[in-house]
Structure 1
Amino acid sequence: MAVLASLVAMAVVAALGLWAAGATDLPGGAFPSVVAAVVVMAVGGSVGLSGDAGAIAETNAGLSVLPLSVSLAGALAIAAGFLRPLRHRAVADAKELAGWAGRIAVLWLLLLVGLGLLARHRFRIPLGDGPAADIGDALDSSPEVGFETDVPLTLLFGLLWLAGVLIVVLLVSRAAPLPARLLRFQESVRPAAFAMVVLLLAYVALGFVIGLGVVVTRGHAAATLAVLLLGLPNLVWLAFTLGLGASWEGRVDGPFGLPMPQVLDAVLRRPDDTTLSLNTLADHDGRVWWLLVVAAVLVLGAAFLMAARSPVRMRAWQHAVHMAVALTLTVLAVCLLAGVSAHYGLSLLGIGDLGGGLSGLVELRPVLWRALVLALAWGLVSGFLGGLFARRVRRRGKVEVDPG
């Protein structure tokens, strides 16, 4: 049931997002295959792109991106299914936990095999009118592009994705029992892990509200809904790192671009790599400085939540260390998951881009060392302040004695 619930959640979110993006109009009944490909990509699977444009033409394409809205839906569903038979228990034997995880893993791998076999299709790309179309017809070089799942790699990365989800569940949830040997770590690890999950979900919830506001005030309902259902965490967690002061590098070239907000596309649409940061974004829209304010409020709130869920005997400097480690690991995960790399190109007789805008490139990658250093600093400061603020609230381990 856990595996089935995860599949249904991811398939529904992916199908609705692709429907909003207009993928139902793809030729050859490709919609189910595209949905399967998006689900495979969402769990870290490998979907390769291939092209064929005849003997004298060449195509090249590549795509590396995680549709994190779909990933998040699947992770929440499978986490709930994993926890359900283990709830209301404080301790569980390591063999029992491994047994539950192993049974889920076997069914999960079978599911990925089925998805991998379904996620494959080929499309013919029209060259339009003009000399390019005439040459293509005369030389039988009309380009085709397709996608196909690398099943072995998908099984490997899909299994790693599942292991990561289950480990996070055990780290975060108080309802998840732990082996007796690990109980001594839960007081220092679980409050920080829970605070980080709440922080990331708070960004997703805030982004969803803003997306609904865009639909009401500016229209573009279909495009906005597609972004919300396919890549909302990609955008809001990128905004989270930018609010901390981190920077990203990349560029956008050709007809493909970032769907929203347009300020990202404006900064990155350069012939060479450029830096994406609060300063470069502010040159186009001064409102991006609100990202700094939002990051300060939410990170400090997460630090307070962590301290409030920790035992009262912990001191402020301990909260600072726990928050620094947790926030650094969280930013590292976001940087590894939210990057984008996509390109497609066509050349005929050695002349590139004969299709009139068929070549394109989108790249976005983090400046990792800067992001991690800033996360460490933010964690130390916010953790210390959160520990001080939490002294004023009733906390675990605190005993109030009646003066009478």
Structure 2
Amino acid sequence: MQQPITRAAGPPGVVRGWLDAFAVVLAGLVAMAAVAALGLWLAGAGDLPEGGFPPVLAATMALAVGGSVQLDGGAGSFAAVDAGVTAMPLTVSLVGAVAMAEVFLRQLRFRAVAGGGELLGRIVRTVLLWVLALVLITVVAKHTFVVPLGGSLAQTIGSALGLTPEVGFHADGPTTIGIGLAWLLLVLAAAFAVSRRAPLPGALLRYQLAVRPPAFALWTVLLAYVVIGAVAGVITAIAHGNARQTLAVVLLVLPDLVWLAFGLGLGAQWHGRLEGAVGLPIPKALSSVLRAPNGREATIDLGTLADHDARSWWLLPVAAVLLLAAAFLAAQRSPRTVRLWQHAVRFALATAVTVLLVGLWTRIDADYGLSVLGVGLGQGGLADLLGTVLGGNNPLTGFGSGSLRLRPALWTAVPLAAGWGLLTGALGALLAARVRHRGELTEGGG
């Protein structure tokens, strides 16, 4: 008598759901940690003393999801450091977002429609594990470096005066967890908006043809800028011989620079100011514009950049060509029954949303300052004198104040992007009218 065939029992449904969510979170953490670690190592962070590399890595990951890092320290009760950094290393963000989206969507493959309850359950489980991961990141992203004063005499004097130079940092918990949670929800929403194969609840199926073609096209534009920037970075590393520094920029902040270039190419403006010496990678032309006389706020656009580097004008035709190509791609992926004005409006909305996100992602607030007995110090003031007296290894040497601000003028950038999208969307639809659209059959049925 034939024995019945038994199948190995898999994990129960609830356990499987939590394992799937864990896989999504783990994929994002591993991807971000790998890219950030390599970039930081190339930047020289591997030589940090006192086990400082893991906390710095965690702080970089906190910044990558929109968190902020506060710097503190000083020399006992005599001097204090007051600083903070809010700037997203977007290469780390991008890699983590792609990894999480890919794993999340792969778990839903082989189906055309997904139930709303199932999707909600998957999202809730992923969110809960992601919040736990963010809590762990903020706990690890905390460290204090004790810097020796120099010779024995300096050590004796420093001990007598209560000068124990320390420089530390910590991730701001509420900001990192709150914005990091919003970051994950945005990643998942973008994944469903961009991917043609992502299953949706039945109630949302009617919107996919209006959203997905332009969303995918604009996502392609952002990726194209990253690829162009990466190629330029590799060429620069080979030609100028500063491979470690250049590759560190590529692995940490490449999208910050190239997506800023995309917005500027469309005519958008950013406002900012650079004072002192802030250890962040900034192109020479941008740095020159930001260092406005008398600490005034500078306007960054194609004109002001071209005053320092005429090649900046190339940002305009590059943006126009890539946006037109994206509009053509969006129209080609849409049914032929979609009217020209519908293409134009949908592409305009997608372009406006893209530039809005680029503006929010490229905001930078970084500042530091040293105060002695409550008196703020500028560059070249009493801090340098203390550094000379206490020894060359004293962290107060050359430590004055500095700040970097970079903020988009969204109230003009977003309408301007919508105008570009409207124009290129219409032109792209006209160009795509003579080509075969996705899903169409030829006259022979093939």
Give the TM interval when normalised to the shorter protein.
over 0.9
Which of 410, 424, 427 in structure 2 is aligned with 1:385? Answer: 427
- Matched with 1:294 is 318
Deviation at 1:154, TM superposition (A): 2.6
| CA spacing shift, 1:347–1:321, aligned 2, 3 Å | same
The amino acid across from 2:404 in the alignment is V
Task: Work out whether residues 258 and 265 of structure 1, in 8 Å CA contact, stay in contact via their aligned partners in 2.
Answer: no
Q: 2-side partners of 1:17 and 1:324: how far apart? A: 36
Q: 2-side partners of 1:21 and 1:387: how far apart? A: 45
Deviation at 1:44, TM superposition (A): 2.0
- Matched with 2:377 is 352
Deviation at 1:124, TM superposition (A): 3.8
Comparing 161-170 with 100-109, greater Cα deviation is found at: 100-109
- Structure 1, unmatched stretches of 5+, are none
- Matched with 1:47 is 69
- Matched with 2:202 is 180
- Matched with 2:180 is 158
Instruction: Report whether the alignment pairs 1:312 with 2:336.
Output: yes
What is the TM-score when the length of structure 2 is the normalising length? Answer: 0.85
Instruction: Report whether the alignment pairs 1:228 with 2:250.
Output: yes
Comparing 93-102 with 151-160, greater Cα deviation is found at: 151-160
Comparing 349-358 with 282-291, greater Cα deviation is found at: 349-358
Deviation at 1:109, TM superposition (A): 2.0
Deviation at 1:77, TM superposition (A): 0.4
Which of 290, 304, 309 in structure 2 is aligned with 1:285? Answer: 309
- Matched with 1:322 is 346
What is the TM-score when the length of structure 1 is the normalising length? Answer: 0.94
| CA spacing shift, 1:175–1:145, aligned 2, 3 Å | same
Secondary structure of the corresponding residue to residue 107 of structure 2? helix
After the TM superposition, which residues 19-58 of structure 1 pair with which residues of structure 2 at under 5 Å, given as runs?
19-58=41-80
After the TM superposition, which residues 250-289 of structure 1 pair with which residues of structure 2 at under 5 Å, given as runs?
250-256=272-278, 258-270=280-292, 271-289=295-313
Q: Rg bigger for which structure?
A: 2
After the TM superposition, which residues 29-108 of structure 1 pair with which residues of structure 2 at under 5 Å, given as runs?
29-108=51-130
Q: 2-side partners of 1:137 and 1:333: how far apart? A: 50
Q: 2-side partners of 1:133 and 1:192: how far apart? A: 64
Give the number of equivalent residue pairs.
401
Secondary structure of the corresponding residue to residue 383 of structure 2? coil
1:346-403, Cα deviation, whole Å (9 max, x unpaired): 1224251433432211111111112112101101100000000011110136454469
Deviation at 1:40, TM superposition (A): 1.5
Task: Work out whether residues 86 and 175 of structure 1, in 8 Å CA contact, stay in contact via their aligned partners in 2.
Answer: no
- Percent identity over the alignment? 55
Q: CA RMSD in A?
A: 2.2
1:61-119, Cα deviation, whole Å (9 max, x unpaired): 11111111101010010011101121121111001111221222222222222222111
Which of 362, 369, 378 in structure 2 is aligned with 1:338? Answer: 362
The amino acid across from 2:377 in the alignment is G
| CA spacing shift, 1:257–1:49, aligned 2, 3 Å | closer
| CA spacing shift, 1:135–1:348, aligned 2, 3 Å | farther
| CA spacing shift, 1:152–1:272, aligned 2, 3 Å | closer
Deviation at 1:217, TM superposition (A): 1.0
Task: Work out whether residues 73 and 80 of structure 2, in 8 Å CA contact, stay in contact via their aligned partners in 1.
Answer: yes
